A and B are shown apart, each in its own frame.
Chain A
Amino acid sequence: MNIFVPIKSVIDVDLNIRVQDGKVVEDGMSYIISKWDETAVEAALQLKEAVDGEVTVISIGGDKAGESLRKALAMGADKAIHVNDPATAGSDAAGYAKILATVLKRGAFDLVITGKQAQDTDMGATGAMLAELLDVPQVANVIKVEPQGDGAALRINRLGHQGQEVLEVKLPALFSANDSLNEPRLASLRGIMAAKKKPLELLTLSDLGIDPGEVGAAGARVKVLEFQPPKSRAAGKKFEGDDEEVTREVMNLLANEAKIFA
């Protein structure tokens, strides 16, 4: 099974994020593989272990994308593709999807696995657009996946509007992982050493035959005008003391002050 996992390098959003002059302050920020892309890599590694396959990770960007690829190789991915071209900066999901589709269409693929959403945009659009461009079935919100037959199909549990749905999907296909799908493995020291020798292919837009005007900020169909600090809530009141007494006090306030039982 030939499995491809696009990964994105993002600011570590667990850190304190500051906005200044309409931009996110990059000074002092560290970058990581988007957490749910790691879930996707883990899913790929588990499938590869089950049915004998190959996992290729792809990232678009500069040095940080390269670092993310090395980390994914250290987790156990077999190959990496790094699209490194300044003209990709400012791409929207459609731009990323176009580049990824072009990379994937160069050869054969059985499965593309994406994370639910990138931790910086939280949008979750790229995978769906990519599936459409590749004309493969897509399944989102996947919480369980098992190969069927020799790996010609997958049995997938996803979360729908009414509960879990179990689908069988013939490959080639794309699915996006819900964050509950698995717990990504940590790279071992051996994995980190081995990663240095694994193939990492560097590509530019010209290598892919993509017109720079169609991707990056130049080709983006949507754009960010500015970043703003988050919406804040006014501070509330905290009640400490005897457990039962403070509870009763707050319940009375909810009835009389906040009037929630009206």
Chain B
Amino acid sequence: MSKILVVADTKGSDVRKPTLELLTKTRADGLDTDVVVIGHGVKKNADLLAGQGAKTVYVADDPSLEIFSAGAYAAAVAEAVKQAQPAQVWLTVSELGRALGPTVAAKLGAGYIGDAATIELNGDDVVVTRPAMATKVQQRMTFNGGGVKVLGIRSGAFDAEEQPAGSANVVDLPAPPADPRVSVKELVQEDTGEIDLGEAPTVVSVGRGVKGQDGVEFVRPLVKELGAAYGASRAVVDSGWMPYNSQVGQTGRVVTPDVYFAIGISGAIQHLAGMSGSKLIIAVNKDPDAPIFSVADYGIVADLFKAVPVMIEEVKKHKGG
């Protein structure tokens, strides 16, 4: 049976939800699965990963791995590949994981397909569909020839199931030697404990229509009432009204929450590419012709400065608070 090696996606010392999505998929398909987790303080996740189906958890845990480095992480993955001998390596395409997949593939002389939204497995064959051209088309792709296949998968492609922790079979990997060419100078923590865009079941995003930082704060109580993550269009981020990693879009975060509120967002294709996979979309925009309405399940044509206070009131009411 083909073995899959899943590379865990981490934030700090925690494993992120997309990794649980990948493991839920391999579990559902009855695939023999190992996991490699890399970082600092990440060994604690071993039993969680075992509970999700990992037969062996390869751990590269070292202070030198706290900050992502494509070269160092790829070296750790390559070592896990050498020991686990998988047919496929699966990774989540995240802000940094995006570079890891191809680096691993280049190291192994393997093929790489990224942003897989669907995966069809047929013995050793893998066929994926992935969005391209700002999601205006889909590509059906496959691997040519033998050798390890490296697959980068979109977060939200599969559902994640909670599982009780297991008892991990851990293999410790040596930390790769530190790269003298790169040194970390500073960490500017932008998301001060706020809800992660990639994990939240509800996301509220604002666009140019909020007109400025005051507008961003004007909408924030709605975000809090909904217990949502707060996202933004590229225009908002480029204007400096919200931090960079709140950008939802083709070149920002791709999110697939249950509920997505797009407030004051026109709906340019680059933004839609980041959120059109949301289960339910509600848009507020005073322009009835805004393209966002073409993807919204519920479209509210209204001035957001009038609509948002009503929304806050209604959310409080319906939540029984």
Q: List residues of chain A with CB under 8 Å of any chain B CB.
A: 11, 13-14, 17, 19, 24, 36, 92-94, 97, 116-117, 119-129, 131-133, 136-141, 143, 155, 157, 159-170, 173, 176, 178-180, 220-231, 233, 235-240, 243-244, 246-248, 250-255, 258, 260-261
Contacts and interface: CB of A to CB of B under 8 A. Distances in A.
Contacts of A239: 298-301
Contact of A168 (B182, B188, B319): B182
A17 B134 CA distance: 10
A243 B106 contact: no
21 contacts: A125-B101, A129-B105, A129-B106, A132-B70, A132-B71, A132-B103, A137-B71, A141-B95, A161-B11, A161-B16, A162-B191, A221-B144, A222-B112, A225-B140, A226-B139, A227-B140, A233-B276, A236-B296, A240-B301, A243-B302, A258-B280
B32 interface: no
A122 B103 contact: no
Interface string B115-154: 1000000000001010111111111111111010000000
B297 A228 contact: no
Interface in B33-79: 67-71, 74
Contacts of A17: 133, 136-137
A122 B300 contact: no
A19 B186 contact: no
Nearest to B286: A243
Contact of B299 (A126, A132, A224, A237): A237
Given A131-B103, A137-B71, A159-B95, A227 B310 contact: no
Contacts of A128: 70, 98-103, 106
B303 A243 contact: yes
Interface residues of B, number: 97
Contacts of A36: 251
Contact of B188 (A19, A122, A136, A164): A164
Contacts of B259: 260
Contacts of B172: none
A57 B181 CA distance: 25
Given A243-B307, A247-B310, A132 B131 contact: no
B201 to A, nearest CB: 10
A140 B99 contact: yes
B112 A125 contact: yes
B307 A122 contact: no
A24 B182 contact: no
Interface in B230-288: 234, 237-238, 243-245, 247, 250-251, 258-259, 269, 276, 280-282, 284, 288
B82 interface: no
Contacts of B107: 132
A227 B299 contact: no
Contacts of A143: 244
Contact of A137 (B11, B182, B247, B281): B182
Contact of B245 (A19, A163, A226): A163
The 9 A-B residue pairs with the shortest CB-CB distance, nearest first, are A221-B111, A163-B190, A251-B314, A125-B102, A132-B106, A243-B302, A236-B297, A238-B299, A128-B102
B171 interface: no
A228 B288 CA distance: 30
A222 B300 contact: no
Nearest to A238: B299
A247 B222 CA distance: 13
